[in-house]
Chain A
Amino acid sequence: SQQGEEDPQALSIQEGENATMNCSYKTSINNLQWYRQNSGRGLVHLILIRSNEREKHSGRLRVTLDTSKKSSSLLITASRAADTASYFCATDARSSASKIIFGSGTRLSIRP
């Protein structure tokens, strides 16, 4: 089963609005990463937040991490048409067989 689960599965907003996506996970992690994917192509790394961090910013992106609730959120401010994509969270779990596990993604559509 997936370690991370994104919510909502799909989101449609007007250009200029803010988009918020959430991710929940099950086990303790070293870090959590957010990725973007356009139309079944390769994933683009957006931001990495470590387990000892609570918030991180990168341009129009803001990521929060709550390890007590095992959840993270990705906020995209002032959305643009080019932000239309699928967004995935991925967790680097603390285990001897460490690997990065992806959620099922949020499909974001920006309406002009």
Chain B
Amino acid sequence: ETGVTQSPTHLIKTRGQQVTLRCSSQSGHNTVSWYQQALGQGPQFIFQYYREEENGRGNFPPRFSGLQFPNYSSELNVNALELDDSALYLCASSLAWAVRRTTSYNEQFFGPGTRLTVL
């Protein structure tokens, strides 16, 4: 157990709908990252939040958005769902620090993921 929890475990939506996924970080961590993992592939970085601000974004369209709250829990929102959004969504928390405009990390602790199916 990593101490990182995600909800819901599974979710089925239809194309065009919106979805919100939630992540509760490990105690003491200030950074949360979200990943999309398609079947048989490695996790693809969506974005990261460090101290409640977006700190890097992968190659995902603006309909993927997020929030990090003062308690460092986080949400991933996806609007206008497409069939290709079907995947396992993973969040990971870590303790990061900023050095000269870049951020360095310790290891990430992953939650169990949310399996999203878009029909």
Whether A82 is near chain B, meaning CB under 8 Å from some CB there, is no
Determine if B110 and A99 form an interchain contact, defined as CB atoms under 8 angstroms apart: no
Determine if A42 and B42 form an interchain contact, defined as CB atoms under 8 angstroms apart: no
Contact (A42, B102) CB under 8 Å given A99-B56, A103-B42: no
Whether B113 is near chain A, meaning CB under 8 Å from some CB there, is yes
Determine if A2 and B101 form an interchain contact, defined as CB atoms under 8 angstroms apart: no
Residues of the A chain whose Cβ atoms lie less than 8 Å from the Cβ of B101: 96
Contact (A100, B42) CB under 8 Å given A42-B2, A94-B102, A95-B102: no
Interface of B is mostly: strand
Give the nearest-CB partner of A88 in chain B: B42
Give Cα A95–Cα B57 distance, bound, in whole angstroms. Answer: 12
Residues of the B chain whose Cβ atoms lie less than 8 Å from the Cβ of A30: 104-105
Whether A71 is near chain B, meaning CB under 8 Å from some CB there, is no
Q: How many A-B residue pairs have CB under 8 A?
A: 73
Chain A nearest CB from B96 CB (Å) reads 8
Contact (A104, B41) CB under 8 Å given A41-B112, A42-B112: yes
Contact (A105, B42) CB under 8 Å given A41-B112, A42-B2, A45-B109: yes
Choose among A41, A43, A96, A97 the residue that contacts B43 (Cβ–Cβ < 8 A).
A43
Chain A, residues 1-13, CB within 8 Å of chain B (1/0): the string is 0100000000000
Determine if A43 and B102 form an interchain contact, defined as CB atoms under 8 angstroms apart: no
**Which 5 residue pairs spanning A and B have beta carbons closest together?**
A102-B42, A99-B56, A97-B56, A42-B112, A42-B110
Pairs across A and B, CB under 8 Å, 13 listed = A30-B104, A31-B104, A42-B112, A43-B110, A45-B109, A92-B105, A95-B102, A96-B102, A97-B55, A98-B103, A98-B105, A100-B108, A103-B42
Residues in chain B within 8 A of chain A (CB atoms): 2, 4, 33, 35, 37, 39, 41-45, 48, 55-58, 88, 90, 92, 101-113, 115
Known: A96-B102, A104-B42. 13 other contacts (CB 8 A): A33-B108, A40-B37, A42-B4, A43-B90, A43-B110, A45-B110, A95-B102, A97-B57, A98-B55, A98-B56, A98-B103, A99-B56, A105-B42
